[in-house]
């Protein structure tokens, strides 16, 4: 009776696949379902959620990356099996920030602190000097704060770094890098063990670092992104439905990949339960409505709490916004590659606002979003000079995010189950052998 039941139907809707999940109700079940679909890079165009009482029912209308119905039997079977028999591992919010050895295959380094130009270059230079291979990494910046997850192995053995003295050395040196010349709001780096979901953990790290606050420590709106306009700005409201004891959260903004995950992840980690929800993301704009209560059963009961929910959701939406020029690097992996590339960025006055680093076999497939040191658009001449230094065929301009009005695109890596299993950001799904990297 308590086992989830999944129905996948291509006949109900003409332009989307219906995914229906019925399950015994528990905190986080909505996030589990959204996380599975999002990690498969599926678009969730519409959804209806109902979880009053002891039962949870969610109906998603999804398409693949090309906007088509799901026809791949492997993908369909994977969704059914994962949601019915192998629920996602959702790491708790209470973990310490730090360096962590996951699935006996890599060491995960968690970093938070004050963002500044050249920071990523310094981080990769330290890891290179300490003989650490960067297998994968993801970096988010928001409101002058930075959160970074870097997955490394030992350069010589290709195994996780489990030497206590070396881990302490990594922590000490990276903590000094994160502090820079000041100690504003501190810097954190620690080493621990466990499984983690990269994007959820990044949300948790930035939330714990209070990136939704003004620099003076008060809750307030973060500085607008460089491409800010009426369509891009998130509009979040929270009102109470007194007759039913809910708080109603409305989110309206420009749609983009993984937006639903970002909102549901934040509500879940703030300890709110979604009882009912309606999501409509069929056009360029998305409208999401959630009926929520805190896990203690109470709706939002003060103006301060209401403002905090609004600001935290706005921050969660903005964190993944990609400011600057999108540069894609694809080349043979080698020792010190990331250290060299980010050093060249720094020497040319370019600042990385977001990064996604991965390895696919013997290839490094990396995406960087860059601005100048002041956060303004990079001079195209500077971009071309950097490309010539790194290699015109190796580093290519794929997007100028300050000019485009199209939704933010994910890194140009075609989906396959092989990619899914190899990706460290989805390591909780399956634990397979690590492909040795020399980044």
State the chain's mean pLDDT as an integer. 82
Q: How does pLDDT run across 82-125, given as a tens digit for each residue?
A: 888 755 444 433 333 344 544 457 888 999 999 999 999 999 99
Among 88, 121, 142, residue at a domain's last position: 88
Q: Are residues 113 and 168 in the same domain?
A: yes
DSSP notation for 68-118? -----HHHHHHHHHHHHHS------TTPPSSEEEETTTEEEEEEEEE--TT
Domain holding 21, by residue range, is 1-88
Q: Are residues 113 and 79 in the same domain?
A: no
β-bridge partners, 140: 147, 354
Q: Are residues 84 and 103 in the same domain?
A: no
Check whether 395 has a pLDDT greater than 80.
yes
What pLDDT sits at residue 317?
A: 96
* 287 within a domain of the structure (yes/no): no
What pLDDT sits at residue 185?
A: 56
Which pLDDT band, with edges at 50, 70 and 90, does 24 fall under? Answer: confident
Among 88, 123, 153, residue at a domain's last position: 88
Q: How does pLDDT run across 342-368, given as a tens digit for each residue?
A: 999 999 999 999 999 998 888 999 999
Q: Are residues 55 and 187 in the same domain?
A: no
pTM: 0.82
Q: Are 12 and 39 in contact (CB under 8 A)?
A: no
Check whether 196 has a pLDDT greater than 60.
yes
393 or 426, which is more confident: 393
Q: Are residues 133 and 192 in the same domain?
A: yes
Q: What is the DSSP letter of 426?
A: G
Return the CATH number at 155: 3.30.70.260
Mean pLDDT across 298-316: 96
Among 88, 123, 145, residue at a domain's last position: 88
Check whether 426 has a pLDDT greater than 60.
no
User: What is the number of structural domains in the chain?
Assistant: 2
């Amino acid at each position: 009776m308590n086992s989830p039941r999944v129905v996948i139907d291509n006949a109900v809707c003409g332009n989307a696949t219906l995914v229906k999940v019925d399950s015994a109700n528990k905190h986080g079940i909505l996030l589990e379902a959204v996380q599975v679909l999002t990690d498969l890079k599926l678009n969730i165009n519409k959804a209806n959620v109902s979880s009053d009482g002891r039962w949870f029912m969610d109906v998603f209308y999804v398409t693949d990356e090309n906007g088509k119905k799901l026809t791949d039997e492997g993908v369909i079977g994977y969704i059914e099996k994962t949601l019915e028999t192998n629920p996602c591992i959702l790491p708790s919010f209470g973990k310490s920030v730090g360096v962590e050895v996951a699935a006996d295959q890599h060491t995960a380094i968690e970093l938070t602190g004050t963002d500044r130009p050249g920071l990523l270059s310094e981080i990769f230079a330290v890891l290179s000097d300490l003989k650490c291979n960067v297998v994968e990494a993801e970096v988010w910046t928001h409101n002058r704060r930075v959160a970074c997850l870097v997955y490394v192995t030992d350069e010589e053995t290709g195994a996780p770094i489990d030497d206590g003295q070396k881990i302490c050395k990594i922590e000490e040196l990276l903590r000094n890098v994160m502090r820079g010349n000041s100690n504003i709001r501190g810097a954190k780096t620690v080493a621990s063990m466990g499984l983690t979901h990269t994007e959820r953990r990044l949300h948790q790290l930035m939330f714990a670092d209070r990136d939704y606050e003004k620099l003076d420590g008060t809750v307030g709106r973060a500085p607008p992104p460089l491409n800010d306009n009426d369509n891009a700005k998130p509009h979040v409201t929270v009102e109470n439905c007194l007759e039913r004891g809910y708080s109603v959260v409305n989110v309206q903004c420009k749609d983009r990949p993984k937006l639903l995950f970002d909102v549901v992840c934040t509500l879940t980690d703030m300890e709110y339960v979604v009882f009912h929800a309606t999501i409509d993301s069929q056009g360029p704009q998305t409208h999401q409505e959630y009926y929520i209560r805190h896990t203690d059963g109470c709706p939002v009961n003060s103006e301060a709490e209401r403002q905090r929910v609004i600001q935290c959701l706005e921050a969660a939406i903005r964190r993944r916004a990609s400011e600057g020029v999108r540069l894609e690097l694809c080349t043979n992996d080698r020792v010190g590659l990331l250290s060299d590339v980010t050093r060249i960025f720094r020497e040319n006055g370019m600042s990385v606002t977001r990064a996604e680093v991965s390895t696919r076999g013997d290839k490094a497939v990396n995406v960087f979003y860059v601005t100048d040191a002041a956060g303004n658009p990079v001079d195209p001449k500077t971009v071309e000079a950097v490309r010539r230094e790194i290699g015109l065929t190796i580093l290519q301009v794929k997007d100028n995010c300050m000019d485009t009005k199209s939704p933010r695109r994910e890194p140009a890596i075609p989906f396959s189950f092989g990619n899914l299993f190899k990706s460290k950001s989805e390591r909780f799904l399956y634990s397979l052998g690590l492909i040795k990297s020399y980044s």
